[in-house]
Structure 1
Amino acid sequence: MSSFRPGRLIGILVGTVVILGLGVYGPAMLLGPLPAVTASTVTPAAGTSPLTPPVLSANGASAIAVLTATTSDVSGTTSTGTTSTGTVSQAAEPIAVAGTAEALPMASIAKVVTALVVLDAKPIADGESGPVVTLTAADFQSYLDYDQVGARSVTVFADEQWTELELLQALLLGSSNNHADSVARWAFGSLDAYVEAANAWLADNGLTGSAVVDATGLGDGSAGTATDLARLAGLAATDPIVSSILERPASALADRRGVENTTSFLPEEDITGISRSYTDAAGVCFLFTAEVSDGASSFTFSGAFIGEPTYDALTADLTALMESARAGVGPLPVLAAGDEYATFESAWGDEASAVVGVSRTRYAWQAATPEAATVTLKDFATARTGANVGEVQLTVAGEELSAALKLDQAINNPGLGWRLLHPIVMITALLDQ
């Protein structure tokens, strides 16, 4: 006859609990997720490239902006990236500005605005000349009026037919005031309507410090900031119609009276003029692009100098600018292989760093200290050496660059023993997941 044994029952219960506990605890510890590593961002040591800022004019106002740059990676291949185009989002901010920040009279730079606004309203397809425009008595009278006061003009007669492209050639290459009025009236119906459209175009393109009161720039109220006008130069230089006109010789109007190319200035310094003019109120004003090249790579920038007292002063200031450009432009090791941007530590003591895997260089102007880098890291618990663990991004000379971050040494699995001996850490990692 069996009797009740309390000790035996307690032993069975304890044994059951232990077995069940081990059945749950063991798999949870051995198969559960590991805690993610702890990450800390770091700033790599500053490079040794000396800063060589642009030398700009002490007169009036001036600014330069990145237009295009030919870049190379560590293997030596090249690619060209455009940072200033005919859209607001891509027009580059100036990399250097000098003089007053106030808007100054812009003289015939206003005609560049006229050309771009007209082309926005009446675009010309590549390889074509646009519609034919029959000039009126008002166009002929404009020519007579400007010619009488000695303002730049190109001869026209009533009932002549000019293509839109020819009107723009006379406007840009010859800086013809009567053609500025003619093409503006043709495109918008009146000069008042043109002025309204032009100011809306300036605002839409982010050139909020500038405004026009006419199509010619002879009015003192047609004024702009150097910052805006350097960006305007980039918009003009990357417009396919405007750039093609500027590339043609002065005799571009084949069946007309020809125009004197008023835009060219210091081409021996690798400067391409977009607009060059003078008025009593504005002084000498110059809109341009310029290039620095080592034969394999090139760096092109746009610029504006307004309020220069004389052409001799403009010559001296542009020469100084180009000397500083040739000294400051070159291949920069922007993101060097091995540069450390983050450190990692695991709960079990393994340590590693996130480093740039492949160098990224740029043929650019080391004009200012680069902006702080933005580091994006992945969450992980273990990873092999060389694993992609994030990305670093920064902006150099107006261009956004990025590089993958690699793990410089492995974060290994800690093993079964560590898992079993650290239940709180393992359970926390399981709950977090």
Structure 2
Amino acid sequence: MSSFRPGRLVGISVGTVVILSLGIYGPATLLGPLPRVTATTVIPASTTAAPTPPVLSANGASAIAVLAATTSDASGTISTGTASTSTATTSTATTSTAIPEPLAVAGTTQALPMASIAKVVTALVVLDEKPIVTGESGPVVTLTAADFQSYLDYDKAGARSVTVFADEQWTELELLQGLLLGSSNNHADSLARWAFGSVDAYVVAANAWLAHNGLADTAVVDATGLHDASAGTATDLARLAGLAAIDPIISAMLESPASALANRRGVQNTTSYLPEEGITGISRSYTDAAGVCFLFTAEISDGASSFTFSGAYIGEPSYDALTADLTALMASARTGVGPLPVLAAGDAYATFESAWGDDASAVVGVSRTRYAWQAASPEAATVTLKDFTTARTGANIGQVQLSVAGEKLSAALKLDQAINDPGVGWRLLHPVMMISALLDQ
């Protein structure tokens, strides 16, 4: 006959708890995941040169935008910046590389009359509607009585014009050369009528093109820019200069000799201005309402690397003022442009600490240097880190990204020393941390 024994029941209960505890404790501590390391982002000592802002004009409005930056790095490879010359076989402005926001802007932010810069819009819009294959001249255009009358009207008014006659045949490329290099007002109207049926229809298409290309603060009411209401902001027009410069047809045209129409009427290149300063003109003009207006690109190079920017100056009071302002700009460019150690190898952007006392840093693995113009202090870096518990020295544990001179750059972050498993002893002595890590997962 058995009897109830309270001590036996207590013993069995305690034993059961111990066995169950050991069944959980052992696997949780010995086989379970370790607590994740604690990460803290840090800001390394800056290795970037002090900002050197561009010297822009105090007159009217002006702006410059990064067009291209090409750098030979330590490995001998070539890195190209935000925008580069188009490799397309036809000139199609809507598919060109987008130009970033200007590097610097000065003067009024309001739209100002832009004089013959409007003809650059005309050229790009016509090329978008009637593309030319690179190396070819495009279709042959037979001029009409209306084209001849346009020439007579502009010539009588004293506006820039290039002689044409009814029934003459010009290629599209020749018409564009007359338009851009000769700044011919009658060629602007002729191209608009040929490509769109009328100048009015062209104006509708041109404003749609401007909006499509992000130039929302610029509008045209004619193809020539003689009307004061054809106006734009310096910000938009600096970007327009970039779009023109990367168009293969226009860029090749600007490299042509002064007499662009060898068998025609010797259209002279009116765009050239201060080439000794490294400037390539795209449009140079004057009207009473607009003042002196200039669209251009410029290049700074040390032989191995180069930096090209586009720019717009509108509302300059005189050509003497334009010369002085451009000379000051290029002097500031020669001072400001150079190799920037943007992301230096070894710079730490985060530190890590484990629950068992190991610590390490997330450092840039490979330097990123750019030949650029540091016009302003770079934006704060964005750091992305991976979750981990242990990792070997040199493991890729994240990425750092920042923008400099309008270009986004990034580099992998590496662990500068290992964070190792703490071993069985630490695991067994820290059951709360181990079980918490298990529950977290």
TM-score class, shorter-chain normalisation, is: over 0.9
| Structure 1 Cα separation of the partners of residues 14 and 70 of structure 2 | 76
Partners in 2 of 1:24 and 1:33 — Cα distance?
14
> Which residue is 2:306 aligned to?
298
CA distance in 2: counterparts of 1:33 and 1:198, whole angstroms: 63
SS of residue matched to 2:20 = helix
Out of 233, 236, 247, the residue aligned to residue 255 of structure 2 is: 247
Deviation at 1:121, TM superposition (A): 1.2
Partners of 1:345 and 1:73 lie apart in 2 by: 34
Please say if residues 82 and 99 of structure 2, whose CA atoms lie closer than 8 Å, have aligned partners that are also in contact: no
Runs of 5+ unmatched residues, structure 2: 87-92
CA contact (8 A) 2:50 2:377 kept: no
C-alpha deviation, 1:24, in angstroms? 2.7
Q: Which region of structure 1 is more displaced relative to structure 2, 4-13 or 407-416? A: 4-13
Q: C-alpha separation between the residues in 2 aligned to 1:97 and 1:244?
A: 28
CA contact (8 A) 2:427 2:434 kept: yes
Q: CA deviation at 1:325?
A: 0.4
Alignment of 1:282-321 (within 5 A): 282-321=290-329
> Where does residue 332 of structure 1 map in the other structure?
340
Q: 1:224-373 alignment to 2 at 5 Å? A: 224-373=232-381
The question of whether the paired residues in 2 share the 8 Å contact of 1:384 and 1:412 is answered with yes
Q: Which residue of 1 aligns with 2:89?
A: none
C-alpha distance 88-131 of structure 1, shift in aligned 2 (>3 A): closer
Q: What is the rounded CA distance, in whole Å, between the counterparts of 1:47 and 1:177 in structure 2?
A: 51
Verify: 1:57 aligned to 2:65, yes or no: no
CA offset digits 1:258-279 (Å, max 9, x no partner): 2010000011111000001111
Question: Judging changes above 3 Å, is the alpha-carbon distance between structure 1 residues 383 and 414 closer, same or farther for their aligned structure 2 residues?
Answer: same
Determine what percentage of the aligned residue pairs are the same residue.
84
Task: Give 2:35's aligned amino acid.
Answer: P
Query: Is it true that 1:33 corresponds to 2:30 in the alignment?
Result: no
Contact 2:62-2:107 within 8 A present in 1 as well: yes
Residues 73, 359 of structure 1: 8 Å contact kept: no
Identify if the C-alpha distance between structure 1 residues 48 and 361 changes in structure 2 by more than 3 Å, giving closer, same or farther.
Answer: closer
Q: Tell me what 1:221 maps to.
A: 229
- Deviation, 1:401, is 0.5
Find the aligned partners of 2:409 and 2:76 in 1 and give their Cα distance: 17
Residues 1:205 and 2:208 are matched in the alignment: no
- What residue identity is the alignment partner of 1:138? A
SS of 2:133 mapped into structure 1:
coil
Amino acid aligned to 2:205? A
Q: Residue 83 of structure 1 corresponds to which residue in structure 2?
A: 83
Aligned length: 433
Residue 82 of structure 1, CA deviation: 4.0
Question: Structure 2: how far apart are the matches of 1:359 and 1:72?
Answer: 13
* Cα separation, partners in 2 of 1:262 and 1:187, compared to 1, 3 Å: same
Aligned position for 1:165? 173
Q: Which amino acid aligns with 2:223?
A: A
Superposition deviation, residue 9 in structure 1? 5.3
Alpha-carbon displacement from aligned partner over 1:65-85 (angstroms, at most 9, x marks no partner): 100001243445332234267
Structure 1 distance, partners of 2:411, 2:61, is: 37
Kept after mapping to 2: 8 A contact 1:51/1:367: yes
Pick which of 228-237 and 344-353 moved more. Answer: 344-353
For 2:59, give the aligned amino acid. N
Counterpart CA distance in 2 for 1:365 and 1:376 is 27
Structure-2 residue corresponding to 1:394: 402
Residue 88 of structure 1, CA deviation = 8.2
Partners of 2:308 and 2:96 lie apart in 1 by 19
Match of 1:174 among 150, 172, 182: 182
Q: What residue in structure 1 maps to residue 105 of structure 2?
A: 97
Secondary structure, counterpart of 1:151 in structure 2? coil
Matches within 5 A, 1:125-136: 125-136=133-144
Residue 18 of structure 2 corresponds to which residue in structure 1?
A: 18
Task: Mark the CA change 1:88 to 1:430 in structure 2 (over 3 Å): closer, same or farther.
Answer: farther
Give, in whole Å, the separation in 1 of the partners of 2:393 and 2:72.
27
Distance 1:28 1:179 in 2: 83
Q: Deviations over 1:340-369 (max 9, x none)?
A: 111111122221111111111000112110
> CA shift at 1:428, angstroms?
1.8
SS at match of 1:55: coil
What's the CA shift for 1:127?
2.1
Do the aligned partners of 2:96 and 2:243 also contact (CA within 8 Å) in 1? no
Give the aligned residue type for 1:123.
P
Deviation at 1:312, TM superposition (A): 1.0
Structure 1: gaps of 5 or more residues: none
Residues 83 and 399, structure 1, Cα contact 8 Å, conserved in 2: no
Distance, in Å, in 1 between the alignment partners of 2:64 and 2:231 is 18
Change (3 A) 1:50 1:9: closer
CA contact (8 A) 1:88 1:204 kept: no
- Give how far 1:48 is off: 5.8
- TM-score, normalised to structure 1, is 0.96
CA distance in 2, matches of 1:25, 1:37: 22
CA positional deviation for 1:5: 5.5
Query: How far off its partner does 1:10 sit?
Result: 4.3
